[in-house]
């Protein structure tokens, strides 16, 4: 090891070190960071900005329009790369940094590694109070950056240049850990960024990382195999962790070897193609009749790479209370939920180990046949649900059907929050593995367009020539749309479908389902709006440089989508959909929500009683 040193500022050391981090993926070396997203202001422009400018080729910096959307784009980028490559996001001190809180929470909930490099106050505190400082008189050192502690997997404030030597490797180790990955937050006080230090030259040597694969304990494998052999109605729940482990082939091979039906979570929605004989459909609250029917009857459930959140478990009513859950997960916290028999390990390796332990086993043929019959009936329902009709109002399902029929099998679908995750989960017929990104871990409105932009950057690195297709409702569009402009500026073409239902219609649906009057969810029912009117989404998107057209029905949407595929820049298609008619009404499991126990409204009280009746099937967490 060399005794030489490199004198550099804290900011220069951070950027130089990041530029020398690489990862080996399938035998090929890539830079660990594909670059970053940045909005400069006081707190990150003078020092970190200077350092990033010197490394603009190695670490391209994408100029964002909103800090929150930058975090979303970074999350979608790493999701597309299956958490093997990352982006950083940098924001200025104060409101620029606090704008990243929501995207940090999204990344944390979805277990997505994103590096946040955020400006902070001054360590010396000589100029206090400073512009945009959040003064806390009981704890003067406590500020906005501390708010990131609950939504970060790794948190650090650099109070001396030497701290970089320990903080950066620790942050990257966390981000690369399959069991503990998520956002890493580094607060950069403005004075410390510019302080210089003699760093060991070896610190900046090229480093090649590899993601760890942990084998499961053989005793846990044996117990899981014994549980499966003792059951008569086994089922596999395939979650997003299957994709992050690159275990889709192993999942299919395991299911095929032992003739076990597979259901998918929202995050695992593209683990199997729709036409795979063992794919019984999506499970849970926004699932399918087919998957939920067999989930109620299964006596052994192998949950692979899923954190078993309430939309998967029907708030823990989707399964028989006596069913044995075998949880295969790289994270011990996820593997041990709800009395699960834990198999802690990488999905690809664990499925292979479990397969060896199950040699000679096969699920009973009548069980599989009944599951496949349920799936056939569900396919018939979906085909009717997505089909356009002359006398039917426009619906999300019809728009989904049009795109499903016309897109390429490797095009990437992106959506989030609102009613679209449920509609896509239920109605999308997966054309190829790993092509669907439904952000529902945090169910965050505003992710759609920003996430599509981040995904597009990754796609051009991985699969150039494929399209990124974003489904977004009018409510989410109005919350965060400026990355249409970003995509045009950076020449990262998106196809954006804006489905306008006049407000937050899926929450209006929830209002109605719980006996409430329509109130403050649709634009037309807001009491503070004297004269409701619709937004000219076409004019708005065109002002940001996109090609745009508005269509009246699914037939026109199909024609417009063909034009969008042929276009060379971001293309926005706007279509009105009915806010009340046309929802996918089948395939829903029970969901626990808070309803008023006491009210003068009889319809609300009746809904409360009906809702509580569903609790009888709820599995307790002991």
Give the pLDDT of residue 159: 97
Which of the listed residues 351, 377, 403 is the one where a domain comes to its end?
377
Residues 313 and 395 in one domain: no
The residue ranges of DSSP E strands in 324-383, in sequence order, are 324-329, 341-344
Torsion angle defined by CA atoms of residues 453, 456, 460 and 466, in that order, rounded to the nearest 10 degrees: -140
Which of the listed residues 557, 576, 595 is the one where a domain comes to its end?
576
The residue ranges of DSSP E strands in 485-557, in sequence order, are 495-500, 547-550
Q: Cis before residue 129, ω within 30 degrees of 0? A: yes
Give the pLDDT of residue 55: 98
Give the CATH number for residue 180: 3.40.50.970
In a domain, 337, yes or no: yes
Structural domain that includes position 568: 387-576
In a domain, 604, yes or no: no
Taking only the tens place, the pLDDT of each residue in 331-362 is 999 999 988 999 999 999 999 999 999 999 99
- Provide mean pLDDT across the span 257-269: 97
Q: What is the DSSP letter of 243?
A: H
CA distance 266 to 198: 49
In a domain, 567, yes or no: yes
Residues 223 and 205 in one domain: no
Residues 172 and 270 in one domain: no
Give the pLDDT of residue 622: 56
DSSP string, 40-80: --TTTTTTHHHHHHHTTTTS-EEEPS-HHHHHHHHHHHHHH
- Provide mean pLDDT across the span 126-132: 88
CA distance 237 to 520: 37
- Number of domains into which the chain is organized: 3
In a domain, 166, yes or no: yes
Q: Of the given ranges (134-143, 151-160, 215-224, 514-523), which has the lowest mean pLDDT?
A: 134-143
Q: Of the given ranges (103-107, 451-455, 483-487, 608-612), which has the lowest mean pLDDT?
A: 608-612
497: its two tokens: 């479908």
pLDDT band at 96 (very low <50, low <70, confident <90, very high): very high
* CB-based contact 405:569 (threshold 8 Å): no
Give the CATH number for residue 348: 3.40.50.1220
pLDDT band at 110 (very low <50, low <70, confident <90, very high): very high
Residues 537 and 404 in one domain: yes
pLDDT band at 1 (very low <50, low <70, confident <90, very high): very low
Output 133 or 165, whichever has higher pLDDT. Answer: 165
In a domain, 586, yes or no: no
pLDDT band at 116 (very low <50, low <70, confident <90, very high): very high
Taking only the tens place, the pLDDT of each residue in 542-592 is 999 999 999 999 999 999 999 999 999 999 999 999 999 999 999 999 999
User: Can you list the alpha helix ranges (DSSP code H) found in 302-364?
Assistant: 310-313, 332-335, 347-357
413: left (phi over 0), alpha (psi -120 to 50) or beta: beta
In a domain, 583, yes or no: no
Taking only the tens place, the pLDDT of each residue in 285-328 is 999 999 999 999 999 999 999 999 999 999 999 999 999 999 99
Residues 294 and 155 in one domain: no
Residues 545 and 457 in one domain: yes
Give the pLDDT of residue 132: 86
Taking only the tens place, the pLDDT of each residue in 468-495 is 999 999 999 999 999 999 999 999 999 9
| H/E stretch holding 419 | none
Which of the listed residues 377, 409, 441 is the one where a domain comes to its end?
377
Give the pLDDT of residue 458: 98
In a domain, 510, yes or no: yes
Residues 354 and 414 in one domain: no
Residues 421 and 566 in one domain: yes
Phi, psi dihedrals of residue 75, rounded to the nearest 5°: -65, -45
How much is the mean pLDDT over the chain?
A: 96
Residues 363 and 394 in one domain: no
Give the pLDDT of residue 414: 98
Pairing of the two strands 324-329 and 300-304 = parallel
In a domain, 473, yes or no: yes
Give the pLDDT of residue 306: 98
- What's the CA angle centered on 319, arms 318 and 322, to 5 degrees? 155
Q: Which of 36, 33, 40, 9 is nearest to 19 (CA)?
A: 33
Residues 170 and 283 in one domain: no
Residues 163 and 229 in one domain: no
Torsion angle defined by CA atoms of residues 156, 157, 158 and 163, in that order, rounded to the nearest 10 degrees: -40
Taking only the tens place, the pLDDT of each residue in 371-416 is 999 999 999 999 999 998 778 899 999 999 999 999 999 999 999 9
The pTM (predicted TM-score) of the whole model is 0.97
Give the pLDDT of residue 130: 85
Taking only the tens place, the pLDDT of each residue in 430-459 is 999 999 999 999 999 999 999 999 999 999
Residues 451 and 567 in one domain: yes
Give the pLDDT of residue 349: 98
């Amino acid at each position: 090891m060399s005794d030489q040193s490199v004198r550099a500022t804290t900011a220069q050391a951070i950027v130089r070190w990041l530029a020398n981090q690489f990862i080996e993926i399938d035998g090929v070396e890539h830079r660990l960071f594909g670059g970053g997203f940045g909005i400069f202001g006081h707190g990150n422009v003078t020092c970190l900005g200077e350092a990033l400018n010197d490394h603009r080729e190695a670490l391209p910096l994408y100029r964002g329009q909103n800090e929150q959307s930058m975090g979303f784009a970074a999350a979608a980028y790493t999701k597309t790369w299956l958490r093997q490559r990352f982006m950083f996001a940098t924001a200025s001190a104060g409101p620029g940094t606090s704008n990243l809180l929501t995207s940090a929470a999204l990344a944390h909930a979805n277990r997505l590694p994103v590096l946040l490099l955020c400006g902070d106050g001054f360590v010396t505190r000589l100029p206090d109070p400073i512009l945009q400082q959040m003064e806390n008189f009981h704890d003067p050192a406590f500020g906005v950056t501390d708010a990131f502690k609950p939504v970060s997997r790794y948190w650090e404030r650099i109070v001396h240049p030497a701290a970089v030597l320990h903080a950066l490797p620790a942050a990257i180790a966390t981000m690369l850990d399959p069991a503990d990955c998520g956002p890493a937050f580094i607060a950069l006080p403005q004075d410390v960024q510019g302080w210089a230090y003699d760093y060991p030259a070896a610190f900046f040597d090229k480093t090649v990382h590899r993601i760890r694969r942990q084998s499961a304990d053989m005793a846990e494998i044996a117990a899981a195999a014994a549980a499966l052999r003792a059951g008569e109605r086994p089922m596999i729940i395939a979650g997003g962790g299957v994709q992050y482990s690159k275990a889709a082939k192993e999942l299919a091979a395991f299911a095929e070897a032992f003739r076990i039906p597979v259901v998918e979570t929202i995050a695992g929605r593209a683990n199997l193609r729709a036409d795979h004989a063992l794919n019984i459909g999506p499970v849970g609250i926004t699932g399918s009749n087919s998957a939920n029917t067999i989930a109620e009857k299964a006596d052994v459930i192998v949950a692979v790479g899923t954190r078993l959140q309430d939309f998967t478990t029907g708030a823990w009513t989707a399964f028989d209370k006596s069913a044995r859950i075998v949880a295969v997960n790289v994270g011990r916290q996820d593997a041990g939920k709800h009395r699960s028999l834990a198999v802690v390990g990488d999905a690809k390796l664990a499925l292979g180990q479990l397969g060896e332990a199950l040699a000679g086993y096969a699920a009973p043929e009548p069980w599989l046949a009944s599951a496949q019959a349920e799936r056939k009936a569900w396919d018939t329902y979906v085909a009717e649900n997505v089909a356009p009709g002359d006398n039917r109002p426009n619906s999300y399902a019809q728009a989904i059907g049009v795109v499903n029929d016309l897109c390429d099998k490797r095009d990437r679908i992106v959506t989030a929050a609102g009613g679209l995750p449920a509609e896509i989960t239920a109605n999308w017929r997966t054309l190829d593995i790993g092509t669907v990104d439904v952000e529902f871990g945090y169910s965050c409105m505003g992710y759609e367009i920003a996430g599509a932009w981040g995904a597009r950057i990754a796609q051009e690195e991985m699969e150039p020539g494929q399209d990124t297709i974003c489904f977004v409702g009018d409510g989410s569009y109005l919350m965060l749309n400026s990355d249409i402009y970003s995509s045009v500026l950076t020449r990262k073409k998106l196809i954006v479908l804006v489905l306008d239902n006049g407000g937050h219609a899926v929450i209006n649906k929830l209002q109605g389902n719980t006996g409430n009057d329509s109130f403050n969810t649709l634009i037309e029912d807001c009491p503070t709006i004297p004269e409701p009117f619709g937004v000219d989404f076409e004019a708005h998107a065109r002002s940001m440089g996109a090609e745009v057209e508005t269509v009246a029905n699914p037939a026109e949407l199909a024609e417009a989508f063909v034009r969008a595929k042929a276009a060379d820049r971001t293309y926005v298609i706007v279509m009105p959909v009915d806010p009340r008619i046309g929802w996918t009404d089948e395939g829903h499991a029970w969901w626990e929500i808070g309803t008023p126990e006491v009210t003068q409204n009889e319809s609300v009280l009746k809904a409360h009683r009906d809702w509580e009746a569903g609790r009888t099937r709820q599995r307790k967490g002991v």
